[in-house]
Amino acid sequence: MLKKKRFLERKSVKKALPKKLLSFLILGFFLMALCMSVSDAKESTSLQKSPFVNVEILDPKYDHVYETEMVKNGSEVSIKVILTNFSKEIDKSTLIFYSELEEEGGHISVDGSPAEVLKSGSSYTVEHKKVEKGVVVAWSGTAPEVGKQEPCTLLNITQETTEKVYSVVDIKEDVTSEIIEAALDAWHKAKEAVENANWTIANATGVDVSEARRTLKLANEYLNNSRDSYGGGRPEEALEEAKKALASAGDAKKFAEGAKATQEFGIYGILAVVMIIVVVVCVFLIMQRRRKRGIY
């Protein structure tokens, strides 16, 4: 019976092995297909720089916010692009224009010829062998109004040939405003203040810091409200909540330091009393000895 049982177990194992192997093979093919699809997606989003044209001048102009390189929301944006050295290896190519600016548009001119109007989504076919000096593209528009820092494609130009699509110009900048930057700056300061208050409370051992903890909890609530308001595109609210968080964090730190100072004052007070008692006792003993010796 035992031999028969072992034989049956081995037989069942042998039957199970092909099934497991088949499952692993199917899983392997699935993962390989997934990796290939991810790789293709990455390739589709990053185009190779065009070898058939040179960008000689790229001159974007817009209003900055504070000392950053970010675009001020609602400001006018103008871009001048000069393309030269169109390769004679190919007869022609098509330039495709895209922009996320509002009221965007532009003009394109070949060797000083009358300019043709462009819009986002427009295309223009260039006959390479006819270009002598170059192609000038003038583009303008308005930066969008935003409630938080947002990336924006100011101008994207791609070049389509019979074989492939190449990147020619890709100008992307973050769009922001003074109130957005103020809200972000206040949030970071408040976060640092909350961390400092938390550290002070954690190191105030042996004292009652319940008031400091309650105030710190309130500071964290304000800080979270500020973050949520910013994420929802409400920078004014985010700024106010960050200011409240900063003030509450400062109060929490003061309460913790006050409790610690009270404890230390109590300890020093006790030590002072002990020292006074010791001095009084010493003086008393010295006077007693003098009396015994007859010294007054």
Q: Where does the pLDDT of residue 209 fall: very low under 50, low under 70, confident under 90, or very high at 90 and above? A: confident
Architecture of domain 54-176: Sandwich (2.60)
State which fold the 179-285 domain adopts.
Butyryl-CoA Dehydrogenase, subunit A; domain 3 (1.20.140)
The pLDDT of residue 35 is 43
| pTM, rounded to two decimals | 0.70
Q: What is the pLDDT of residues 30-65, one digit of tens each?
A: 444 434 433 333 333 589 999 999 998 888 999 999
Structure token pair of residue 210: 């319940």
Spell out the domain ranges in the chain: 54-176, 179-285
pLDDT score recorded for residue 213:
92
pLDDT of residue 46: 83
